[in-house]
Amino acid sequence: MTELVEGNEMILRDADRWDGHAESLDSRFAISMAHDKRSIPACLARYSANLKAGVLFTIILSIQAYAWELRANAESRPNAAPRPNIVILYADDMGYGDLGVQNPDSKIPTPNLDRLAREGTRLTDAHSSSGVCTPSRYAMLMGRYHWRKFHGIVNSFDPPVLDQERTTLAELVRAQGYNTACIGKWHLGWEWAAIQRAPGKPANAKEGYPPDAFDWSKPIPGGPLAHGFDDYFGDDVPNFPPYAWFENDRVITEPTVPLVNGTPTAEGGWETRPGPAVKDWDFWAVMPKLTDRAVEWIEHQNAEKPFFLYFPFTSPHAPIIPTEEFVGRSKANGYGDFMVQTDDAVGRVLRALDEKGFTDNTLVIFSSDNGPEQYAYARLNKFDHRSMGPLRGLKRDLYEGGHRVPCIVRWPGMIHKERVCDDLISQIDWYATIAALLQVEIPDGNAEDSFNQWPLLTGTGPGARTSVVHNTNANGYAIRHGDWVLIEAKSGAVTKVPEWFESKFGYSPNAYDGELYNLKQDLAQKINLYGEFPERVQELSTLLKTIRTSGTPR
Ligand SMILES: [Ca+2]
Ligand SMILES: [Ca+2]
């Protein structure tokens, strides 16, 4: 990253692109940048000088943290890049239409996410790498398509998928002096073999491993601490064994009993896998406890050292288990209530940042790892709420609903508030974007599919990405380029679609080998143009092959 801001002309030209949101430009940002044709660090240094001169009292509070950081950086680092705190909030299975501000007909209030969107930029064409959990997380933390390595999820007691020889996003920022933590759903595997008493699969697959199959007193290698996080707290995967709290690389309380599901969930199945559990394990405590710990971790940070918090939620993924406080708070069944609870967790994190005075120096990124789970069809039928919003498809699907996800970024004064950005972006891009922001080179052999989207996020330049590959299973790929998406499969659906849905919303069976849509004209993917535009199909197919075999073109 060099010249992020190129002066008044760029500001004005870009203002035209903001769909009438030019008036929402943060004046602090606009005024100072309009008179300063230098990079962000230079602008910040200028702020610092002004501070010393006792000028610009009105902005002192908001830029104090930058000035302190710059001084610290100047002493300890060769460059003086800004070092904002970075918070990634990652919902699990939250649909595009579950974000209130994005769905005028939503039955789920999301006031905290709506606030975040007002205070930042909402990206309407943002994608997870996969339609399921583990691969999307891998791709985001490695800046690399998951399908270059694997497709499915990490199952109970599977080994890690992150590459030991590569640099994760957490390792990248930790090398820049960040405190790092992962609090929440890990789901990227551990070296369970290191604590397993006898090798091999469980004797009875239906019952899973007995509690004494592992030595729970030992540390478990290969988890968050092995991949750049100073701290971990969570229960790894909430619906997989062990059902236990982890602190860093150990379970806090030994799981001594096999899991028994008791009370029904608020909606849908438990979706739990068999295996060891802590006695009287309380599923309902998971999201509240994770949120408590995330808030506490933020409270322990200070302005001297920047921090990176990766907070992958366990909600609104199944089991759908809103706590009492949230029951009945939506008009979209138990899931809606659990989504309200998810939004409340976002609010608690935002308040913690406010209370510590971190808000103005913190980049917050909110998104979801894939589209909504299968229950979304029944929810639509019974409660008239579209978790997938205007999109076709759900979790796992190659259709937009599988991977086009809610996405909000906020950094007051740096990223424009009240902006809606329709440019293409992938979660894979956070890696190169953050590297550019911190002015660090991406280590060789890393993040090969990641684009620096800092100019797009700040409105100082165009989006860096023209294509993105969509994939969940090994036998189905789709390629997006510009307004067009080609699905190289007979159907983009992996999750079963009920007949009533297809007939009610005008979807008909596909007569061709694949599907081609123009998303600008047909976001709902109803009109398959595969037969009508064979050259376009060929072009996109060739591009997909190139990206799969030769890498992402730059
Ligand atoms: Ca998920
Ligand atoms: Ca677990």
Kindly report, residue by residue over 197-242, the tens digit of the pLDDT. 999 999 998 999 999 999 999 999 999 999 999 999 999 999 999 9
Ligand closest to 134 (CA) is 1
Q: Which domains does the chain have, with CATH numbers?
A: 1-80 (no CATH), 83-471 (3.40.720.10), 477-550 (3.30.1120.10)
CA dist list (Å): 382 to 316, 332, 359, 391, 420? 18, 9, 40, 18, 31
Mean pLDDT of 79-105: 94
Query: Count H helices, E strands: the chain?
Result: 15, 16
Cα of 176 from ligand 2 centre, angstroms: 31
Ligand closest to 472 (CA) is 1
CA–CA gap between residue 333 and residue 316 (Å, rounded)? 12
Ligand closest to 130 (CA) is 1
Q: What would the two tokens of residue 28 be? A: 């602090």
Radius of gyration of the chain from Cα atoms? Answer: 23
> pTM here?
0.87
pLDDT value of residue 5: 31
Ligand closest to 136 (CA) is 1
Cα of 130 from ligand 1 centre, angstroms: 9
Q: What would the two tokens of residue 5 be? A: 């801001």
CA–CA gap between residue 292 and residue 306 (Å, rounded)? 20
Cα of 222 from ligand 2 centre, angstroms: 16
Whether residue 92 has pLDDT greater than 60: yes
Cα of 213 from ligand 2 centre, angstroms: 16
Whether residue 76 has pLDDT greater than 70: no
Ligand closest to 93 (CA) is 1
Cα of 275 from ligand 1 centre, angstroms: 21
Contact 442, 431 (CB under 8 A): yes
pLDDT value of residue 81: 77
Q: Using one digit for the tens of pLDDT, what is the confidence trace for 277-290?
A: 999 999 999 999 99
Whose CA is closest to 160, among 145, 142, 174? 142
Whether residue 23 has pLDDT greater than 70: no
DSSP letters spanning 496-511:
PPPHHHHHHTT-----
> Which residue carries 């943002």 as its tokens?
126
CA–CA gap between residue 102 and residue 118 (Å, rounded)? 12
Q: Which helix (H) or strand (E) holds 66?
A: helix 60-76
